[in-house]
Amino acid sequence: MKHFKTTWRNMRRSPYQAFAAILIMMLTFLTVSFFVFLIGGSSEVINYFESKPQVTAFFKNDAKQSDINTLENNLQSTGKIASIKFVSKDEALKIYREQNKNDPLLLDLVTADILPASLEISTTQIEDLAPISNTLKNSPIVQEVVYQQDVVSALTSWTSAIRKIGLALIVVLSLVSVFIMVTIIGIKISQKKEDIEIMRLIGASNWYIRWPFIFEGMFYGVIGALFGWAIASGVLWYSTPFLESFLRGIPVLPVSPLIFVELLGTELVLAALLGAFSSYLAVLRYLK
Amino acid sequence: MIKLDKVSKKFGTGVFGLSDISFDIEKGEFVFLVGPTGSGKTTIFRLLIRETLPSEGSIFVNGWDIVTLPKQKIPHLRKKVGVVFQDLKLLSDRTILENILLPLDVAGVSLNEAKVKAEEVLTQVGLISHKDKFPIQLSGGELQRVAIARALILSPDIILADEPTGNLDPATSWEIVKLLSDINEKGTTILMATHNLDIVKSLAKRIIELEKGHLVNDNKNNKEEKEKKSHPKKEEEKEIKEKETGEEKKEEKHETL
């Protein structure tokens, strides 16, 4: 309570320093939050695709139903198939209509003729997808094979890139925050040099002098993290409807409130540690 | 209570601030430390609270060996020794009450308890009506009393007063000295540095005289003789009263070393 009072007084007396400290902490934790959402979201998407070991073969327009049936039977007989589902042109149209029911323009443009018939095949084991997709590719009646593994590997490489960029950004921003905090706390210590000297002569222990500065650093960290988290979470919350329609069918959103709370908790702890660490560095540097 | 044994302090420039100083002060004594500026009075005070270490010799304060005292024990020492600094060292951005509360806070006394104690001490030095003012709003004599109050608040065994009458008029100086001797009567050992000879001469106390870092005179034994002859306390009080009433006339004659 006493430290809150002191910190509040210090903030009132040097508002720009306090503002800079809080802002840089905010920026750091805004970045942390955004990348946590991004990385968490994309691994969810990958999980979704990986949990569906599936190949889709689209047939040529002139493919005969009997040829398709033969192919289907051939695949069934390999014993690697978990399920196989034929989607006719009409069914494809129905699915398409369902997905785009809010957009009459798109509905008018498309007829059953444009949409190809397809065969959705899932295997019991992921490794079996490759030979099956090869079989399909070699079939004369197949126009195109969409192999989820390609999607997954593309997504995985994107995610790992995002992860690297995010990590690098967070490390750089954390370092910047530490340096800025050390400087700001250092300035505060220099301003109070005389007071500190007097307190020493009166018999104040090192920790009596250090603790208020460390508390101040933690306070800036916590406030910054709170704002950073609030902004990132607010943005995600606000754009959830849009993102949901973008990721149609992939069950990533909405993010459960529990995750927001957990993220906040973790960030507050990290921010307090980062603030305390920076102030401690400053105290070691400026309080001999 | 305080014991210096062959203490020397050599400064970085190679100059001796103090050389071969030995004296000891008993519990409950009131001792004047006199000498011109630069004679080493403040250096002795700084040594006694371990603000600096002696180059040679040993120092004991309240049973602590100052030279070998581990660093983390220094705060304990300083809580037991109240110091009235020459430049007061009050915190300008805190009120008088907050200044007085500081040592209690440092010592970990709870705020409510501390306030009671602080107000008690402020009443003792006659500044209770100024408790919410800032140091800049007080006169020199009042500030000096604030500094004494702060030195007093933790009920230390020893008070070191470094020229507490330094730049005060004689009337105020006498008030300060009166205050210190009241404190002394309650059992606190007092070591007061001054070059106000008027005060020193009028109070029959032990005088330790320094000059250029050497101890030139210590009338420990003289004083004891004097005490045998008369009732010093009564005499002192009479003298103080006389001084208090007759200061105006004395003001012009007031001499300093």
What domains sit in chain B, N to C, each tagged with a CATH number? Answer: 2-81+157-250 (3.40.50.300)
Three-class HEC string of A150-211? HHHHHHHHHHHHHHHHHHHHHHHHHHHHHHHHHHHHHHHHHHCHHHHHHHHHHCCCHHHHHH
Close Cβ partners of A115 (under 8 Å, ≥ 6 residues apart): A89, A92, A93, A96
pLDDT digits (tens, 9 = 90+) for A214-231: 898 999 999 999 999 999
Q: Which residues of A touch B (CB under 8 A)?
A: 2, 195, 197-206, 208
Cα A140 to chain centroid, rounded: 42
Tell me the average pLDDT of chain B: 83
Tokens coding A222: 């916590």
CA distances from B85 to A210, B82, B132, B135 (A): 24, 9, 22, 15
The pLDDT, as a whole number, for residue B161 is 92
Q: Which of B189, B149, B171, B193 is nearest to B241 (CA)?
A: B171
Beta carbons of B75 and A198 less than 8 Å apart: no
Q: How many helices (DSSP H) and strands (DSSP E) are in chain B?
A: 9, 10
Contact A203 B75 (CB under 8 A): yes
**How many Cα neighbours within 13 Å face the side chain of B228?**
6
Q: List chain A residues with CB under 8 Å of B112.
A: none
pLDDT at A146: 75
Cβ-contact B233, B178 below 8 angstroms = no
Instruction: Report the chain B residue with the minimal C-alpha distance to residue A201.
Output: B78
| Complete domains list, chain A, with CATH | 2-49+153-286 (no CATH), 54-124 (3.30.70.3040)
Can you give the length of chain B in residues?
257
Phi and psi angles of residue B27, each rounded to the nearest 5 degrees, phi first: -65, 135
The pLDDT tens digits of the residues spanning B14-42 come to 788 888 889 989 999 999 999 888 888 88
Decide if A201 and B79 are in contact by the 8 Å CB cutoff. no
Q: What are the Cα distances from residue B182, in Å, to B30, B185, B189? A: 11, 5, 11
Q: Is the pLDDT of residue B118 over 70?
A: yes
For residue B251, what pLDDT band results from cuts at 50, 70 and 90? Answer: very low
User: Chains A and B: how many Cβ contacts under 8 Å?
Assistant: 40
Q: Can you give the pLDDT at residue A160?
A: 84
Q: What is the pLDDT of residues B220-229, one digit of tens each?
A: 765 554 444 4
Percent of chain B past pLDDT 70, that is, above it, reads: 86
> Using the beta-carbon criterion (under 8 Å), do B51 and A205 form an inter-chain contact?
no
> Is B51 in Cβ contact with A203 (below 8 Å)?
no
Which amino acid is present at A63? A
Are the Cβ atoms of A201 and B83 closer than 8 angstroms? yes
| Model ipTM over 0.90 | no
Computed from CA positions of residues A247, A251, A253, A259, in that sequence, does the dihedral angle turn out positive or negative? negative
Per-residue pLDDT for B232 more than 70? no
- Answer yes or no: is pLDDT of A12 > 90: no
Which residue among A197, A198, A204 places its CB closest to the CB of B75? A204
Closest chain A CA to residue B153: A202
pLDDT tens digit sequence for B190-219 = 999 988 888 888 888 899 998 888 888 888
Closest residue in A to B106 (Cα) is A204
Cβ contact, residue pair B106, A195, below 8 Å? no
For residue A272, pLDDT beyond 90: yes
- pLDDT of A11: 79
Residues from chain A contacting residue B74 (CB–CB below 8 Å): 203
Instruction: Give the count of alpha carbons within 13 A of A215, CB side only.
Output: 16
On whether the pTM is more than 0.90, the answer is: no
